[in-house]
Amino acid sequence: MSYMKKSPWIMHYDASSCNGCDIEVLACLTPLYDVERFGIINTGNPKHTDIFVVTGGINEQNRAVVKNIYDQIPEPKVVVAVGICATSGGVFRECYNIMGGIDKIIPVDVYVPGCAARPESIIDGIVTALGVLEKKRQLMKEPAGKTDVTGGEKK
Amino acid sequence: MISILNAVLFIILAPLIGGLIAGIDRKITARMQGRMGPPLLQPFYDVAKLFEKENVVVTPSQNYYVLSYIVFIAVSGALFFSGGDLLLVIFAFTLAHIFLVLGAYSTNSPYSFIGAERELIQIIAYEPMIILSAVGMYMVTKSFFVSDIMNSPIPVIVYLPGIFIGFLMVLTIKLRKSPFDLSTSHHAHQEIVKGVTTEFSGSGLGKIEIAHWYENVFLLGFIYLFFAFNPVIALAAIIVTYLIEIFIDNTFSRVKWQYTIKSAWIVAGTLGIVNLAVLYYLSGVMG
Amino acid sequence: MIDLVFLIVFPLIAAVLLLVVSKDSIRDALVKISALLIGIVSLMTLFLYYNTGALYFPVGYQQVSQIIFLVEVFLALFILYLGIKYRKSLAVVLILVQLGLLAYFEMFCSEALHAVQNLFIDQLSIIMALIIGIIGSAIAVYAVGYMGTYHRNHPEVQDRRRTFFFMVFLFISSMFGLVFSNNLIWVFLFWELTTVCSFILIGYSRSEEAVNNAFLALVMNLLGGIAFAGALIYLAGIDPSGNLFEINQLISAGQALAIVPAVLISFAGITKAALMPFSSWLVGAMVAPTPVSALLHSSTMVKAGVYIIVRFSPVLSGSFEGLIIAMIGGFTFLLASAIAISQSNAKKVLAYSTIANLGLIVACAGIGTYKLVWAAIMLIIFHAIAKSLLFLCVGTVENRIGSKDIEDMAGLIVRMPKIAVMMFIGIAGMFLAPFGMLISKWVAIEAFIDAPFGIIFVTILAFGGSITVLFWSKWMGKIISITQYGKRVEGNIRSEKWFVLYLLTSLTVLVCLIFPLISSVLIEPFVLSVYGFTTRLAQDNIMIMVMMLFLLMIMPLSMLFYRNGAKELPPYMGGRPTTPDMKFAGSMGIVRESSFSNYYFEQYCGESRLLMAGTGLCLGLILIGATLLLGVIV
């Protein structure tokens, strides 16, 4: 039995978003959506984090920051890109200083599109991320050499 | 005089009780804010998850400090519940906390560092009041041993109302509740990331959490001592006290450290000392 | 008896030899051999006398008394000469007053005096002798290495190492004399000798600051000396036969007779122990080379002050004057601890912590119930060991990194791991359970509750104790923080320095382990013989403390388990990539350096502000005490 799925702690980072998606992320914490029902806590500290929630298209100023935060999160970890800018750069895609999507810098596991992404879809994205998180945990536990032997049992 | 059985029971049961209390706390907090709240067992899920995670450190010596922290918290609590000397229990708790602070210092990280300094400020804010509480109990029951205070038929609370209010005041600091959650808390991230616990992750953080449960159980046990003459009243008092603490947590915003230390010391210096002085006078008159 | 005389005379001989010998290597060897001998003989006194109770030895008085008077006059003239040379009018006036008192005493009172039992030893003397003999001589050995480095680093200071070691051994000799003398006139001689020794050692570098601070120390101690001389004259007045000059007879004479001299001598003790308002001389004494500070703070000088107050605490106990002395001690404890928070100079933190602890000892002795005397003696022991260790650690660090600022000690555990661990143990010994100082504080809290006016002191201890936690822990935190860039600079420390440091570190831990033994063999019999009651910690508590100590000792083994395997990441810097030496790119591409420092609470714990408060408060108390005393005399 794993507890990874029951207690996902998130860290939210605004990588040059227009703040639309950020407001929606915060809306998830309000009584109306109350993500703490699922044990989700916004920790604000990479070393306590399981799920890294990033909004915005990443510019020259914060690409190093996103990479740094990602590196500081202990395994297993998943990244959720929230909003269309985070998934592809959105309307800013062609801007001179925009990387165009989180996955240009760090590996992304779940994409939540929308401009801005609705709280329901954000929650849905995070719940999807839980599955990925659990898979990564199992992978982490298996010694590297044995992956093939047990690989058949995994879905 | 020291009961080994109680000590063992404490070491086994306290995390369960402490975790459960934390769960109830979060549930009630959520209801106060008009939310559903997490499942009752959420704190256990959290800690279990932390032990499944990777333990990332800045320096391996962190692990040593945090291990010492939890060991000494458990030892101190066990000493309390086995009926040991109250002052020794308090000093042992201070020792344990110093280990947490040192663990934070050892990382040489700015957020941990400021958390450690604030934790120290908290320690000096609550320490005098806790010692005065123990002294008050001694003056009423003529013993520092928890076992004697437990079995004393004297209603301690009647003699120590000022001390009790002062103790409630510092209880808020010790439970890491708003408005005094300076050094770390479940909601402190805007200001100092996570204070003392910033650089702890995985099993290290899990141990800190469990140590916190141990400590909470000890603190509630301390409240019990005020009402030890009647277990029913004592349990009721513990429940009411904790509900008040949750209410305070949800209604106050965090204050500055200056205010924390000033208010804690003023309360200890007035209510606590006046209470003791009256007792002193009475014992002089009567004895 | 011969060993008592040996302990007083031998250091004196060694001192004279050291003054004569000019070759470095011979002097070094001489220091080490003498220190070893002194240490062994003081241990011998323990085994010879621990179960004999108080023993009194008659020593011919008439012959010695002339010598004593001559020495005292010589000392006074010497100070007079220096006072005039450096134009310190206050010192000149005070020494003239003292000289006048002495002359008066010699002319009118000393004729009929015939105190016989001039030397004595009891358990308290044994404890003091062990502290002086072991810690004092260990510091002397340490000084051999230190002074060499000191003179290399400070070429501007004239090399007067011969005087230095002469003074150190004279100091040790007079301390032995002080704790073994039963005759107050003898005590007074040794008392003045320690004053002069400390005066010269503080002024060792002869810089303007050193000279000023030396005279500050001198003036304050002379004030105490005058009070002491007053006590002698008073005693001669009430008892011309001179029996009361023997300490044991004076104490057993009862409060009515003994209170005036006891309070006067306690006042002398307060000046020597640097309680407020006289604390500034001990802080000023920091200009001296570090072994001198270690000597002054741990085994000699200030310990003489508290020793004499503890000696007289049966007389003070229960009196209003005793309460006032205890309150001076209590307020000193509280305020000096608070001032220590605001200091970043390690030696000053140590100085204020010494002042605070001496205050606590005096508070215990002033109230003087049997439990409190027990606690006071425990405090003396633990404080001497831990404090000497800390001073020598700071001295070693200072020699190596060129700073005694606590902020500069960041990451000491990386740069000088062994010294850092020793310093860590020393600091833990000062305030953490289950180490020594805390045991005494704990007993003191319990004892104060039952004492008259104890509530004041319980409060002071509750608040003062927590203040202590703050300034020690933040220092601890500084030295154990792991700085990634630190380089190890611990090599080339001389072996005798290591020896002394190891010795003191193991003593710190050992004394915590065997304190029940120390208590039952030395302290309890002493307290019992003086009060008829004694105290000790409950058996359960001792067991638990020992278990905690063992737990503390095995916990570091967990480091072996954690050493490898864990993934290490740099600290969180708000997402900024940071180099190992904590530099990061700020805005506009500027490289920023991060540095952090402890809180010092200048606005609350500022030195000048609290000193002023303490001086006013304690001076007021002294004035009240003086008025009371006048009432008794008149």
The reply to whether C73 falls in a domain is no
| pLDDT score, position C60 | 65
Tell me the residue type at C418.
Answer: K
Tell me the residue type at C544.
Answer: I
Please give the mean pLDDT across all residues of chain A.
85
Query: Taking a C-beta distance cutoff of 8 angstroms, is the pair C465, C339 a contact?
Result: no
Radius of gyration of chain B (CA): 19
Burial class (CB in 10 A: 0-12, 13-18, 19+), C415: buried
Supply the DSSP string of C269-281, one letter for each residue.
Answer: HHHHTT-TTSTHH
| pLDDT score, position C352 | 93
Enumerate neighbours of A (3 or more CB pairs within 8 A).
Answer: B, C
Q: Give the percent of chain C with pLDDT over 70.
A: 97
Mutate to test the interface with A, among B31, B44, B52 (most CBs of A within 10 A): B52
Partner-chain residue, chosen from B1, B61, B280, that has the shortest CB–CB distance to C455: B280
In angstroms, the CA C555 to CA B67 distance is 8
> Tokens representing C470?
């703050």
Supply the DSSP string of B8-47, one letter for each residue.
Answer: HHHHHHHHHHHHHHHHHHHHHHHHHTT-----TTHHHHHH
In angstroms, the CA A38 to CA C570 distance is 31
Give the contacts of C441 (CB within 8 A, at least 6 positions apart): C360, C375, C379, C461, C465
Average pLDDT over residues C590-605: 85
Test C575 with A13 for CB contact under 8 angstroms.
yes
Test C572 with A66 for CB contact under 8 angstroms.
no
Minimum CA–CA partner of A49 in chain B: B201
Test A47 with B199 for CB contact under 8 angstroms.
yes
With b for 16 or more beta-carbon neighbours within 10 A and e for fewer, the A85-120 pattern comes to bbbbbbebeeeeebbbbbbebbebbbbbbbebbebe
pLDDT higher at B125 or C488: B125
Set of chain A residues whose Cβ sits within 8 Å of the Cβ of C571: none
pLDDT tens-digit profile of A17-56?
Answer: 889 999 999 898 888 888 888 888 888 889 989 999 999 8
Backbone angles phi, psi at B209, to 5 degrees: -65, -45
CA B125 from centre of chain: 13
pLDDT tens-digit profile of B77-109?
Answer: 999 999 888 999 999 999 999 999 999 999 888
Taking residue C426's Cβ as centre, other Cβ atoms within 10 Å add up to 26
Q: Which helix (H) or strand (E) holds A52?
A: strand A51-55
Residue C570 has pLDDT above 80, yes or no: yes
Average pLDDT over residues A102-118: 90
Helix runs in B145-272, H state only: 146-151, 156-159, 161-174, 189-192, 202-226, 231-251, 257-267
Test B54 with A34 for CB contact under 8 angstroms.
no
Give the contacts of C74 (CB within 8 A, at least 6 positions apart): none
In angstroms, the CA C436 to CA C434 distance is 7
In angstroms, the CA C611 to CA C351 distance is 14
pLDDT tens-digit profile of C170-193?
Answer: 999 999 999 998 888 889 989 999
Test C474 with B57 for CB contact under 8 angstroms.
no
The reply to whether C547 falls in a domain is yes
> Tokens representing C5?
């005389």
Give the contacts of C82 (CB within 8 A, at least 6 positions apart): C88, C91
How many helices (H) and strands (E) in chain B? 13, 1
pLDDT tens-digit profile of C59-68?
Answer: 766 667 778 8
3-state secondary structure C305-354: HHHHHHHHHHHHCCCHHHHHHHHHHHHHHHHHHHHHHCCCEHHHHHHHHH
pLDDT higher at C380 or C241: C380
Set of chain A residues whose Cβ sits within 8 Å of the Cβ of B197: 48
Q: Does C23 touch chain B (CB under 8 A)?
A: no
| pLDDT score, position B61 | 87
Work out how many domains chain C is built from and give that number: 1
Classify B184 in phi/psi space as left (phi over 0), alpha (psi -120 to 50) or beta.
Answer: beta
Residue A39's domain spans which residues? 4-151
Q: Which helix (H) or strand (E) holds C585?
A: strand C583-585
| pLDDT score, position B286 | 54
E strand residue ranges, C103-244: 119-121
Helix, strand, coil abundance in chain A, percent, nearest 5: 45, 15, 40
Confidence band of C112 (pLDDT split at 50, 70, 90): low
The reply to whether C423 falls in a domain is yes
Average pLDDT over residues C255-264: 88
pLDDT tens-digit profile of C118-171?
Answer: 888 889 999 999 999 999 999 999 998 888 888 888 888 888 888 899 999 999
| pLDDT score, position B161 | 92
**Cα distance between the two ends of chain A:** 17
Segment 529-588 of chain C within 8 Å of chain A by CB:
567, 569-570, 572-573, 575-577, 585
Q: Does C562 touch chain B (CB under 8 A)?
A: yes
Which pTM was predicted? 0.92
Residue C328's domain spans which residues? 320-557+582-634
Work out how many domains chain A is built from and give that number: 1
Radius of gyration of chain A (CA): 16
Residue C412 has pLDDT above 70, yes or no: yes
pLDDT tens-digit profile of C197-249?
Answer: 999 999 998 888 999 999 999 999 999 999 999 998 888 888 777 778 888 88
Query: Taking a C-beta distance cutoff of 8 angstroms, is the pair C21, C30 a contact?
Result: yes
Enumerate neighbours of B (3 or more CB pairs within 8 A).
Answer: A, C
Could you say which residues of chain B have pLDDT below 70?
1-2, 186-191, 285-287
> Tokens representing C133?
């003999």
Please give the mean pLDDT across all residues of chain C.
87
The reply to whether C619 falls in a domain is yes
| pLDDT score, position B190 | 59
In angstroms, the CA C278 to CA C294 distance is 19
In angstroms, the CA B102 to CA B105 distance is 5
Q: Work out how many CB contacts closer than 8 A connect B with C.
A: 184
| pLDDT score, position B40 | 92
In angstroms, the CA C221 to CA C274 distance is 9
CA B52 from centre of chain: 27
Question: What's the CATH code of the domain at A32?
Answer: 3.40.50.12280
The reply to whether C562 falls in a domain is no
Length of chain C: 634
What ipTM goes with this model? 0.93
Helix, strand, coil abundance in chain B, percent, nearest 5: 75, 0, 20
Taking residue C591's Cβ as centre, other Cβ atoms within 10 Å add up to 9
